[in-house]
Structure 1
Amino acid sequence: MLEQVVSDWGAVVMGRTSFEKNEGEGGWGRRGPMGDVPCFVVTHQAPTRSYPPVFTFVTDGVVSAIEQAKKAAGDKVVGLHGATVMQQALPLGLVDEIRVHVVPVLVGGGTPLFGVLDSSITLERTRVVATPAATHLSYRVLR
């Protein structure tokens, strides 16, 4: 199931924290988190060292990163990776669908995925798939 979700992605937008956390777990090598899928990292300052060409560091905000990712993705999905990007994009109306993969492990920490919202956002459940490893939930964001 997760492999199918990832294969639908034409680009990824992630925050600097997610980028650095994953980089610290062994580095990116010559590819990004989804292989050769373009990855746009929202950051206040572009790094001084070089990274694989799949990475583009976007210093002018999440809106710009998502616009660039949409162009790169063509007719494929733009995936958001990390809580900070979701917390910025969702209230701006930049999220069409939310896919959550619930794994039966409680880690006891981390960053809340949606943060604190100024108002409620109505979702329509579109899919539930239960597997031995996880429950995969899909919701359409209603406007």
Structure 2
Amino acid sequence: MGKVLSHMTMSLDGYIAQPDDGIGELFEWYEAGEVNVENPNETVRFAVDEASATMLRDLTEGVGALISGRRLFDIADGWGDKHPGGSPVVVVTHRRPENAAERWPTTTFVDGVEAAVAKAKEIAGDKDVTIASANVTQQALALGLLDEVCVSLVPVLFGEGKPYFGALEGGHQLLEDPEVVQGRRALHLRYPVRR
């Protein structure tokens, strides 16, 4: 049985996007090296350093389904139904987009985080499920559904923007010591959630 993990690229001061949803320098690490990491989306190219390539391959090849929030899905226009991670996408939304079945035939739309995790696990089988949404990550953590928090920490300070984590239900959440991979333009951290 796979794990449920989250992964976001984050500024040193905790932001995953600017106030206007722009990414600024956050994804600079995806173009900071010479190692090409293949992905199914022809509009996206990953050229990273060797350490980041190993981490990125582990995150993408070991994943059987990805969970997104509706906001990110809309911003990315559903990645043209080909998420760069290479796995089917489950979107948490209270309103299904018009013509969803025609525009995004490999994408599943569900109402609620618990339903999204259950559906993603079903799709993923023995592989991992990755959550690519700050809001969904926080809800999954509060529900006890998250096994690991992954952060690609980049050397930029935004000063303001959309945080990866805000106020947590139930107070502090302890994580185990991280697995650390030093990449070029990113420090990759994987923290198991303490139960």
Fold-level similarity (TM above 0.5) = yes
Q: In the alignment, which residue of structure 2 is the partner of 1:121?
A: 173
Structure 2 unaligned spans of 5+: 1-54
Q: Which has the higher contact order (CA 8 A, sep 6+)?
A: 2
Residues 85-104 of structure 1: pairs in structure 2 closer than 5 A: 85-104=136-155
4+ residue runs over 4 A deviation: none
Structure 1 residue aligned with 2:188, among 108, 124, 136?
Answer: 136
Q: Deviations over 1:50-98 (max 9, x none)?
A: 3222211112x10000000001111111000011111211111010111
Q: Does 1:2 align with 2:56?
A: yes
Structure 1 unaligned spans of 5+: none
Structure 1 residue aligned with 2:130, among 49, 69, 79?
Answer: 79
* RMSD of aligned alpha carbons: 1.6
Q: In the alignment, which residue of structure 2 is the partner of 1:15?
A: 69
Sequence identity (%): 46
> C-alpha separation between the residues in 2 aligned to 1:122 and 1:135?
20
Q: In the alignment, is the contact (CA less than 8 A) between 1:32 and 1:54 conserved in 2? A: no
> C-alpha separation between the residues in 1 aligned to 2:58 and 2:184?
16
Q: Which TM-score applies when normalising by structure 1?
A: 0.88
Specify whether residues 115 and 67 from structure 1 end up closer, same or farther in structure 2 by C-alpha distance, changes over 3 A only: same
> C-alpha separation between the residues in 2 aligned to 1:29 and 1:82?
18
* Number of equivalent positions: 138
Q: In the alignment, which residue of structure 1 is the partner of 2:52?
A: none
Structure 1 residue aligned with 2:94, among 37, 40, 44?
Answer: 44
